[in-house]
Each structure stands twice: as C-alpha cells, then as structure tokens.
C-alpha cells in the first residue's frame, strides 16, 4: 500500500510540478528585436552582471558612439528600448559599458561590418 501511494505522489509531482515549471519558462519577456509596425523594441540580456550600461547604435543613428541608452529592468534581468523607425533595412549594434561593441546575439540576421565583425540587421516593413 505504501509503495502504491508513493508511486502516485511521485507521478503527481512529476506531472504538475513539471507543468508548472514549463509554464513559467514560457511566460515573461524574452531578448531579441521585435518590429511592431513602425515601433521597434530592442530587448537585450547581458552576458554577465558586470555590464553596468547598454546603449544601441546603428545606421539609423549615424553609428554615434554614445548610442541610445537602454533601460535596465532588474526584475527580469533585461535591457530595453523602443524606437520609431521609418520603413527600411537597418544595421545596428549594442555598446556595452561604453566601449564594447557587439552584434545582437538574439537576432540571427547579420551582415559583415567591414571591420572583421558583424552588424545585426532588421527590416521595418511599410
């Protein structure tokens, strides 16, 4: 009897415990670039907690070194910014801690940057 009860308790926790964990993973914001009409949402997850600021630059901003600063949300450990962009193709990079330029690891669309690295690419459709 004890063995059968233990079996059902294990089955219960496996089924409902795993289901709850899967639902939690599926919810919440995710890093990446999201185009919603003319509004583009950039969401970045830093590779370490040593990143104290993240900025966004690209051909839409003349590749300026100061970039657009992203806001940090410690509750979800993400950096975010949204911009209104006209229809077109754009290249961009993130600037970490004011000096490290990196392409968007969550956007598979890339183009050579002419300096041995990659720019991330996005399209805003009309």
27 has pLDDT over 70: no
Give the pLDDT of residue 48.
84
Give me the residues paired with residue 83 across strands: 40
63 is written with which tokens?
A: 């590749």
How many angstroms separate the CA atoms of 105 and 79, rounded? 13
Measured between alpha carbons, how far is residue 69 from residues 37, 64, 75, 99, 103 in Å? Answer: 22, 12, 18, 13, 16
Q: Which three-class secondary structure state does DSSP give residue 64?
A: coil
14 has pLDDT over 60: no
How many angstroms separate the CA atoms of 102 and 118, rounded? 8
Q: What is the mean pLDDT of the chain?
A: 84
pLDDT in tens, 30-88: 899 999 999 999 999 998 889 999 999 999 999 999 999 999 999 999 999 999 999 99
Give me the residues paired with residue 121 across strands: 91
Share of the chain above pLDDT 90, in %: 72
The class (CATH top level) of 32-124 is: mainly beta
Query: Which of 125, 116, 120 shows the shortest CA–CA distance to 57?
Result: 120
Share of the chain above pLDDT 70, in %: 78
């Amino acid at each position: 009897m004890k063995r059968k009860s233990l079996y059902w308790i294990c089955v219960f926790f496996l089924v409902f415990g795993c289901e709850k964990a899967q639902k939690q993973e599926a919810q919440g914001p995710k890093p990446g670039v999201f185009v919603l009409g003319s509004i583009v949402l950039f969401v970045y997850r830093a590779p370490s907690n040593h990143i104290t600021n993240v900025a966004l630059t690209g051909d839409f901003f003349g590749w300026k070194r100061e970039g657009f600063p992203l806001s940090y949300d410690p509750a979800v450990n993400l950096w975010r910014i949204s911009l209104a962009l006209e229809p077109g193709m754009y290249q961009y990079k993130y600037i970490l801690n004011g000096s490290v330029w990196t392409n968007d690891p969550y956007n598979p669309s890339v183009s050579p940057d002419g300096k041995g690295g990659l720019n991330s690419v996005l399209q805003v459709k009309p």
